[in-house]
Amino acid sequence: MHHLEKGFQNPDGSRVSRGSISDWVSFFYRRIKGRTYWSKPLPPAEYLMEKKDILAGIEAVKQVDSLTWLGHAAFLVRLEGKNILTDPFLSDYATGYPPFGPERSVPPALSVDELPPIDMIIVSHNHYDHLDAPTIEALPGKEKIHVIVPLGMGAFFKDRGYTKVSELDWYQDTLEENIKITAVPAIHNSARSLFDRNEVLWAGYVLESKGKKVYFAGDTGYGAVFKEIGEKFGPINYALVPIGAYEPRVIMNVVHVNPEEAVAIAQDLKADTVVAMHWGTIKMTDEPFDEPPKRFEAAATKNSYAKDKAWVLKIGESKELE
């Protein structure tokens, strides 16, 4: 069971941390010495778009099922005419105490003011790079937006003026007209301070609409639970999976997949198309900024995903979900 007396834990059989205190001290020392925590490296230029091209791309797909990558784990997903925002992080800093903490290397594809009216918000967990208070507070139409979060996170939104909030345990679901949203297990953790670790749940999601299934991973490590999800919900049409923030493995392998494991998740879900995310936005770990997409594309090819079935979108790029 993932429920504890005071909080939650990962699925049975998940990896446990093998990192020592020395590993962690060394990791933070490298971040400080190399200024990787504070500097702003850029993703490869081919993954950046001009604002006019971003807006034109959104206009071209606004009447069909589609998605737009806003950066990191934030997507604007359109299903059944609904605008769905995932893991909203549109601020400059992934921290509660800016300017201290990780800073965006590139701006989000859209600012809050440039977003279309949002119908649903889906949040995987409460880390600052996935749940951004300034973005949540700035969004208009709070009384109309259906917020879907894991157990324990509802108060965050209700305190900020949202009235339609669904808290889900793993394998619980909710409906928004013709769209069914099911929370599914993830291998990660939660915290917004030093004193609230794992007090609220974390999750991925499966969105179902007219036979179309979209999986959103949020943040996760790899484990046997994805085969279980695949048996319950597969085949998935589009699997949105994280490919960055994975080095050093001795620390990160518990909570973050590497690109090869991201492709393995897609295979476990029997996914037709795999979509990369969670890279190229914030420098939080040791791997070079340009490494995740290269490894992801190589792993996808090795595992028989054609180029048009393994998407590495530009920040701001829109694609139709056929």
> Does residue 10 lie within any of the structural domains?
no
- Tell me the pLDDT tens digit for each residue of 3-62: 999 999 999 999 998 889 998 888 877 776 655 445 568 899 999 999 999 999 999 999
Which ranges of the chain would DSSP assign to H, the alpha helix? Answer: 21-33, 51-61, 133-138, 154-158, 225-233, 249-252, 259-268, 291-302
pLDDT confidence of residue 80: 95
pLDDT confidence of residue 29: 79
> Does residue 29 lie within any of the structural domains?
no
pLDDT confidence of residue 127: 98
- Tell me the pLDDT tens digit for each residue of 211-232: 899 999 999 999 999 999 999 9
> Does residue 35 lie within any of the structural domains?
no
Give the separation between CA 92 and CA 282, rounded to whole angstroms.
Answer: 10
> Does residue 23 lie within any of the structural domains?
no
Residue 290 has pLDDT above 70, yes or no: yes
Give the separation between CA 117 and CA 122, rounded to whole angstroms.
Answer: 15
User: How many structural domains comprise the chain?
Assistant: 1
pLDDT confidence of residue 182: 98
> Does residue 247 lie within any of the structural domains?
yes
pLDDT confidence of residue 134: 97
> Does residue 21 lie within any of the structural domains?
no
> Does residue 7 lie within any of the structural domains?
no
Rounded mean pLDDT of the chain? 95
Residue 50 domain boundaries: 40-320
pLDDT confidence of residue 259: 98
Q: pTM score, two decimals?
A: 0.96
- Tell me the pLDDT tens digit for each residue of 116-148: 999 999 999 999 999 999 999 999 999 999 999
> Does residue 9 lie within any of the structural domains?
no
How much is the average pLDDT of 247-276? 97
Residue 173: CATH number of its domain: 3.60.15.10
Residues of the chain above pLDDT 70, percent: 97
Per-residue confidence band for 97, with pLDDT thresholds at 50, 70 and 90? confident
How much is the average pLDDT of 238-250? 97
